[in-house]
Chain A
Amino acid sequence: MSKPYLRFEDGKISLGGKDLDVSSASLSLNPSLEPERVYGDYDAAIAGAKTEFVKHAAVSPLRGQLEIKFLINSDKFTTNNIDKLFDIRNGMNGDAIHGNIVGRYFFDNMYLKSFSFSLSPYSVIEASASYDIFGSVKKTSERRFNITNLNIAHGLKSFGEMKANNQSADNISGQFEISSLQYSIQVNRKVHYHIRGSEHSSVATTANGALPARVSLENIEAEMSVESNEIIPNLNPYGDYQSGTTVDGLSSASLSAFLYTLQGDKVAKFSCTGKIQSESLSISEGQYAKGNLTIREIIK
């Protein structure tokens, strides 16, 4: 009996030639089409011309998206190599990630758009990443891979640290407990096409169509937020913790997440140093007072 549908167990996800421990993936392609309507022949009944649909016209090159949720396995990400694979911090460049496989489909020309994860007590840490894809996808054979040692980042041993003006949050608020922590990094890119690049006849010889000549980095911003029992008091208009009488010499706030596996192996460290963008406190029936605090770092 044939199996036209690909099973989860047989559809590996590989990005940049590296197999990832992906729990879910969503690949989509969206040609940008607009209907072209023109005035037709003369119609005596209306003493004029009616508009008529001619075709769908492509108004921009083919683009797609890939969104994945994956586990951060220490075997694949030795300490801080996660930065390199996902190209998410300093040293990020405009190079495309080629050699990507999602199930039975293969594609090139992929660029990281965002990366995030959340850390909460006793929970498996699941990360998310989304990518922009330029061009089309090709059919390939289904593939599997083996995991010999599952050693993934877990909330049991991973920890967080909050500082404001170089003081630990415990020193500022008494006892500062973080019930959950979120990290996200957003990359905005500018896509450059050659003028009239899409008009050359060679463009139509593959399904990819016109590809960008260059995808450059516009900006990178990281954001970290925590849900906690306290918020930072004495927040000044500059987003700093100010306990004294001057704003001079105040340091930015920082949040850090140190990811470890369940076995206690180091996986990766993520930090966000910048201004406190927002903090809030809420209390409602049947709940504790919950603080929420966000720090944003402008990386580029």
Chain B
Amino acid sequence: MSFSNYQQKVVIDGVALSGVQDVNGSYGISEKPIRIAGVGFVDALVNAPLEGNFTISRKMVSRDPLIQFDSLGKYTYDENEISGAILYENDTKGFGFTKGRVTRYSVNCAVGEIPDIQTDITVYGDLGSGVMTQSETQSHPPIQYPDQSSISINVSDFQLDAITDFSYSRSLNLEAVYAIPKGTSSDWDNDIDISNPNLDPVQIDTQYPIETDINFTMIVNNYQIKEMKDKIRSAPKSNVSIQIKDAETDAIINAFTGQNVRLTSESISSSTEDEMTISLTYKGYETLHNPVS
């Protein structure tokens, strides 16, 4: 029996996501081949922690339920675990994961398109069939659609020309610390299972800074590319904000900001068939405690 797209549901942290285009889940086992003198290869045994990956691609059709902020205004997914599943057959079956951490979050958009959201998750807990097969417990934010007239980008130090496309991404480097199983001599003596097998990492930390990359392409009008060596000498920082609004109500659907980001590359493109365009790339660094100024 097969399951069509309308029979499936992607639930992350209790919310059934909308606009999902595709979801991919996978895990790989790292094995060490065992070779013995006088015998040769005997077997291959697990030799590293099991970690999985989950990738979700969506169209932005509402406020993103994965984006939440803590009391300090930081993304909650930077430091917190998430769980989820692909559910099918009336939510009775599924392929899910626990102890997932977002490793990359990106939004891409070009004129005439609904913005795409891609979320990459590394799974440190369970991953597979029957894991987290629970229906949604929270309601989804209201459906809202942006169009090209309701998306705007602002850079603090100059006036932008017409934007043809943009991308925004945050990449998180995670470090998971594993410990050996914990037990007692009485567990050994009495042949009982140890209380703490430490199959999951004892700690998962985000390695700061989190790198933010913002790229957009403009049709050339007023903007002129900066002279490279002047740029290196001054190395100014800017604030870049992207606002994606509801095409009907003008209410903000999602907003992304790069604070004190630095212009790291500029490129100009000219061809016989298209208008001349300039592409700007900004890079920013988000810290844990002491913000980059």
Contacts and interface: CB of A to CB of B under 8 A. Distances in A.
Q: Do A and B interact?
A: yes
Interface string A282-300: 0000101000000000000
Given A156-B46, A256-B185, A288-B205, A121 B38 contact: no
B188 interface: yes
Interface in B29-64: 32, 34-40, 42-43, 45-49
A294 to B, nearest CB: 17
Interface stretch (B128-136, B176-184, B229-237): B176-184
Nearest to A175: B202
B7 interface: no
Given A122-B47, A152-B45, A157-B197, A11 B38 contact: yes
A179 B180 contact: yes
A21 interface: yes
A83 interface: no
Interface in B172-208: 175, 177-185, 187-188, 191, 194, 197-198, 202-203, 205, 207
Given A23-B37, A71-B34, A121-B198, A147 B42 contact: yes
Which of B40, B49, B182, B197 has most chain A Cβ within 10 Å? Answer: B182
A137 interface: no
Nearest to A258: B188
Contacts of B203: 288
Interface in B219-250: none
A146 B46 contact: no
Interface residues of A, number: 51
Nearest to B184: A161
A120 B185 contact: no
A161 B195 CA distance: 12
Interface string A120-131: 111110000000
A105 to B, nearest CB: 13
B184 A12 contact: no
Contact of B36 (A21, A178, A269): A21
Which of B180, B181, B203 has most chain A Cβ within 10 Å? Answer: B180
Given A122-B47, A158-B181, A262-B45, A145 B188 contact: no
Contacts of B35: 8, 23
Nearest to B202: A177
Contacts of B198: 121, 177
A119 interface: yes
A22 interface: yes
B242 to A, nearest CB: 30
A22 to B, nearest CB: 5
A159 B180 CA distance: 6
A132 to B, nearest CB: 21
A8 B39 CA distance: 8
Contacts of A158: 180-181
Nearest to B32: A124
A150 B177 CA distance: 29
Contacts, number: 123
B178 A121 contact: yes
Nearest to A155: B180
Nearest to A254: B185
A286 B197 contact: no
Contacts of A269: 185, 188
A179 B188 contact: no
B39 A12 contact: yes
A17 to B, nearest CB: 14
A10 B38 contact: yes
A178 B183 CA distance: 11
A159 B198 CA distance: 10
A161 B179 contact: no
Contacts of B187: 159, 258
A152 B46 CA distance: 12
B21 to A, nearest CB: 35
7 contacts: A121-B178, A123-B32, A159-B181, A159-B183, A159-B187, A159-B194, A256-B185
Given A147-B39, A177-B182, 17 more contacts: A9-B39, A9-B40, A10-B38, A21-B39, A22-B38, A71-B36, A121-B178, A122-B47, A122-B48, A123-B32, A152-B45, A157-B181, A159-B183, A161-B185, A168-B184, A262-B46, A286-B207
A-B pairs with lowest CB-CB distance, top 9: A12-B38, A9-B40, A177-B179, A159-B181, A121-B178, A159-B183, A22-B37, A258-B188, A21-B36
Interface of B: 32, 34-40, 42-43, 45-49, 175, 177-185, 187-188, 191, 194, 197-198, 202-203, 205, 207
